[in-house]
Amino acid sequence: MSGEDPLAEGLRAFEAGSYYEAHEAWEEVWRQMEQGPDREALQGLIQAAAALYHLERDNLVGARKVGARALERLRRAPSPWCGLRLRALGHVLERALDAGEAPASVAGLLGGGGPGRDGP
């Protein structure tokens, strides 16, 4: 890992479509967090990255399994959370799982929503 903040590093990797790297960066933070809503929200983000990674590798069974858990957590999480539009991610993930393929791009999906702006 670089010297960059792991949350920011994960976001950069995620938006570049590097879902495995995003998962790894975020998991580093998640492991150190205490139980609670923030940890649950981050776990949903990690699982969403894992589901998209599985979709890219045509592992639909794995994607749907971890994706279902991600969607549960993303639906319960506040959105925006830490400036990230988790509800928008949930919508995109649900469509990707239904279609059986990862979206062509997720650039800009999580960031830039700002407070109170969390559309699909």
117 inside domain: no
CATH number at residue 16: 1.10.3450.10
**What residues have CB less than 8 Å from 39, skipping those under 6 apart?**
30, 33
What pLDDT, on a 0 to 100 scale, did the predictor assign at position 112? 42
**What residues have CB less than 8 Å from 27, skipping those under 6 apart?**
46
Q: Count structural domains, the chain.
A: 1
What pLDDT, on a 0 to 100 scale, did the predictor assign at position 108? 86
Instruction: Report yes or no: 77 and 44 within 8 Å, Cβ to Cβ.
Output: yes
114 inside domain: no
Q: Say if pTM beats, i.e. exceeds, 0.75.
A: yes
Paired residues of 81 in beta bridges = 84
113 inside domain: no
Q: Is 84 helix (H, G, I), strand (E, B) or coil?
A: strand
Structural domain span for residue 81:
6-99
Please give the Cα distance from 86 to 109 (Å, whole number).
9
111 inside domain: no
Closest CA to 49 of 79, 69, 32, 34: 69
Closest CA to 91 of 103, 81, 82: 103
What pLDDT, on a 0 to 100 scale, did the predictor assign at position 104? 87
Q: Cβ atoms within 10 A of the Cβ of 93, count?
A: 27
Tens-level pLDDT at each residue, the chain (120 residues):
456 789 999 999 999 999 999 999 999 999 999 999 999 999 999 999 999 999 999 999 999 999 999 999 999 999 899 989 999 999 999 999 999 999 888 988 887 433 333 433
What pLDDT, on a 0 to 100 scale, did the predictor assign at position 79? 85
What pLDDT, on a 0 to 100 scale, did the predictor assign at position 111? 75
What pLDDT, on a 0 to 100 scale, did the predictor assign at position 2? 56
